[in-house]
Structure 1
Amino acid sequence: MSKKNQLEAYYGLPNEVTFCTKCVMSNQRPTSAVEFKHTKESKKTTMNFDDDGICDACKTAEIKDNIDWGMREEELVKLLDKHRKNDGSYDCLVPGSGGKDSAYQAHVLKYKYNMNPLTVTWPPILYTDYGLKNWKNWLDAGFDNISFYRNGKVMKLLTRLSIENLLHPFQTFILGQKNLAPKIAAQHGINLVFYGENEAEYGNPIADNTSSLRDKSFFSFENLDEVFLAGVSIKELMDKYDVRLSDLMSFLPPKIEDLEKANIEVHYLGYYLKWTPQEVYYYAVENTGFKARPHRTQGTFSKYSGIDDKIDDLHFYTTFIKFGIGRATYDAAQEIRNRHLTREEGQALVRRFDGEFPDRYFDDIMKYIEMEPEYFHELCNKFRSPHLWGKDKGGEWKLRHNVSKTGLDD
């Protein structure tokens, strides 16, 4: 298709849709979960593909096979010894909700490496029953915890606005989740914060495992006039929605001067220990009482990832609408990289489950944010990028291209 005849691509996505030759991920995958607007002017970047059509995440998986994990563990022990405290105070911080990843992180750090972690929870917007039980089981396995329940009225407002303006139910939730850990660490004199998997596992730029938070752009409190939450400026939130700055502080990053005093380091445990999601799941089950969902997660084939928040399933449905990438694509791609699935098996799972509408908790979510279901579906149609979606002869929306090459324009 000539440039003149190209269909409009929203969010700065590539006009030509291609799929990784090793997994099932497409070149439409954004590199990080940050805010973006429904506009062609957006400069959103996507993951890279090499000349052989292999995505960054698959190349990272290949690199993992050649890493000397014994040496990486030695690096970890040196890091822990540097921060280890012998006076009974906390020497590291692990943010999490009690899912398999945070359960694994905290347990390994405490019971294998003899650290004293403080766990910190930015709670789900709408807990599932089993998610709440997993969180309690995690703490009962031997951990102190701070659970920070932000302003409920503001969380509800921002969740609704995130859907209306960005079709991104988790946008402000993710920002608060990211920003809480360094604030709590600074308050408690903890200099070491651990996240789980390195972001490069999913095709994001490889995270720096040694930098301080002062160097990380998303931890900057400068230029609040340029900060948008849920697609709305701070000023507009205060003026139009009668929200105080104090109501928004829990979503915003810490102040620069606080970071400079705290001298906090952020590290990814997945950089030091080989991280395989299925094995992490088994470890969490055995050591922290973690339990999978009692049913298959809608939109995919798995039962144990991202199961603590009712809105999680809807979030992945919106990524399917905006990028043509549903939860089954994310899960199958990861399983292929870990050699638990073949590409052909992954394609079959994507065909079967990607884009499945998550109706199990949908009414609960609409009631919570006070939105009519019909309005939500109208928003979904508004956010479909023309280069990804078209209507078939029956008037039904269909992807123009998919990994099985059975799309509207394949």
Structure 2
Amino acid sequence: MMRFCKKCVMPNTRPHITFDKNGVCIACQNNEKKKKIDWDKRLKELRELCEKYRRNEEGKYDCIIAVSGGKDSHYQVYVMKELMGMNPLLITVEDVFTMTEAGKHNIQNISEAFGCNIISFKPNRRAAKIITRYMFEKYGRPLWYVDRLLYTVPLYYAAALNIPLLVYGENVSYEYGGIDDEETYSAREQVFNGVAPDIKLDELVETGVPRDELVYLDAPSREVLNGLDPIYLSYFVEWNGVKNYEFAKKRGFKDLTHEWDRTNHIENFNQIDSYGYLLNAWMKYPKYGHAYATDYAARWVRYGILSREEAVKLAEERDHDLDPKIVDDFCKFTGMSVREFYVALDKLYNRELFELNEFGQWRLKKENVEERRHPKW
């Protein structure tokens, strides 16, 4: 049976999350610890780190920022360029799916709003199609290929361009619970955090993708990693996705208002770049019994925006409801029919967590629904 955090709505099925003896998840515990942090002192530490890497040479970049164009990316660039006075080079890994109008606008806006150059890495679409379908059908990890590049490409570019300071947003494991939930400024181990775990290249070659088309899927060598200084900005500044959104709007960021009301989300401003990519976050539902509505409702409880009861209601209403636009775009890219998609999806449901209702739909078992509403520890 699933167990749920007594403060938020996060279940113990989230990979690598831990709970204390009182039934409080590590993300909520860390949220309480953050309230005692001296953020002025942390900002001073960031300034000192920036001074270490500031080149003071015309035309030379001081750091690299990995961006998507999203709300958090806008905030990262603001902190590093306008607060710290650094000259950043932005690097983005392009989405392979159909972009939203908001997504198209935002990646252009981040360059225009802050006056930054962007290097855009376009993934090999042939390899992406083959591997994306394979990873979906076999592992339920449809966006492994793109996510892996999101982690590795900035590291390779930082090494190749000899720009050691590489800036990421939040430490996902510390903020939300995961494999490496220790508080640290260093993001050097991020590529090993379990979001896009290693897959043997021999296995991918067997899908029909030549080995020489799998460049960058392996993490850089330890020697290369040790020569870089990747950081989590969330260590130095108080991280809050809603406040980042409110800031980004003031600098030209657009959300999905009047464009798309996503059935499985509770907001319209996070991960809004494209359609098909959102399958990745939703796939946690058949595998672990929770998806994006739970993720963000839990954060909003920690931010003080929602009560736990309100978060439970949103999770029950939204988590299971996979938006058809996501499915259509995913199938369009991979070449699957919608029927093939749902046949494959049906095999991925965790039978320990789910049962079929009278309409042939997978739903959480009643004991899991009741446990979410009234957690017992």
Are 1:206 and 2:206 an aligned pair? no
Q: Structure 1 residues 129, 163: closer, same or farther in 2, change over 3 A?
A: same
State which of 254, 259, 262 in structure 1 corresponds to 2:220.
Answer: 254
Q: 1:176 touches 1:252 (CA, 8 Å); kept in 2?
A: no
Instruction: Quote the RMSD (CA, aligned, Å).
Output: 2.2
Quote the residue 2:211 is aligned against.
Answer: 245
TM-superposed CA distance for 1:128, in Å, is 2.2
> Which residue is equivalent to 1:131?
103
Counterpart of 2:77?
A: 106
Counterpart position of 1:180: 153
How far apart are residue 175 of structure 1 and its match?
0.9
Counterpart of 2:283 in 1: which secondary structure? helix
CA contact (8 A) 1:150 1:250 kept: no
Cα drift, residue 405 of structure 1: 4.6
Partner residue, 2:322: 357
**1:4-15 pair list within 5 angstroms:** none
- From 232, 235, 238, the equivalent of 1:271 is 235
- The answer to whether the 8 A contact 2:9-2:372 is kept is no
Among candidates 305, 308, 317, match of residue 270 of structure 2: 305
SS in 2 for 1:387: coil
Deviation at 1:282, TM superposition (A): 1.1
Deviations 1:19-68 (A, max 9, x none): 100001110111xxxxxxxxxxxxxxx30011100000000110111111
CA distance in 2, matches of 1:296, 1:212: 34
Structure 2 runs not aligned, ≥5 long = none
Q: Separation in 2 of the partners of 1:227 and 1:60? A: 28
Residue aligned with 1:266, SS: strand
Query: Could you give the per-residue CA deviations for residues 246-301 of structure 1, whole angstroms, max 9, x where no partner exists?
Result: 210132222344445xx1111111111001111101111112x1111123333021
Does the C-alpha gap of structure 1 residues 211 and 315 become closer, same or farther in structure 2, counting only changes over 3 Å? closer
CA separation of 1:393 and 1:153: change in aligned 2, threshold 3 A: closer
On the 8 A contact 1:25/1:333 being kept in 2, the answer is yes
Q: Secondary structure at the match of 1:52?
A: coil
Residue type of the alignment partner of 1:333: A
Quote the Cα distance in structure 2 between the aligned partners of 1:198 and 1:210.
9
Partners of 1:108 and 1:53 in 2: CA distance: 36
What percentage of residue pairs aligned between the two structures are identical? 32
Contact map agreement 1:103 1:138 (CA 8 A) in 2: yes
Mapped to 2, the partners of 1:212 and 1:356 lie a distance apart of 34
Query: Structure 1: how far apart are the matches of 2:247 and 2:211?
Result: 42
Given the alignment, which residue of 31, 34, 38 partners 1:61?
A: 31
Distance 1:180 1:349 in 2: 36
**In structure 2, distance between residues paired with 1:17 and 1:212:** 31
Tell which deviates more after alignment, 384-393 or 100-109: 384-393
Structure scoring higher RCO (CA < 8 A, sep ≥ 6) equals 2
Conserved? CA contact 1:329–1:350, under 8 Å:
yes
| 1:251 partner SS | coil
Q: CA deviation at 1:17?
A: 0.8
Equivalent residues in 2 for 1:210-221 (5 A)?
A: 211=186, 213=188, 218=192
C-alpha contact (below 8 Å) 1:198/1:207 kept by paired residues: no
Matched residue, 2:293? 328
CA distance in 1, matches of 2:166, 2:184: 11
Instruction: Report the CA distance shift for 1:403/1:19 in structure 2 as closer, same or farther (over 3 A).
Output: farther
**What pairs with 1:31-50 in structure 2 (closer than 5 Å)?**
46-50=16-20
2:9 corresponds to which residue?
24
Is the contact made by 2:148 and 2:217 (CA closer than 8 Å) also made in structure 1? yes
Aligned residues: 363
Please report how far the alpha carbon of residue 212 of structure 1 lies from its aligned counterpart in structure 2 after TM superposition.
7.6
Equivalent residues of 1:313, 1:358 under 8 A apart: no
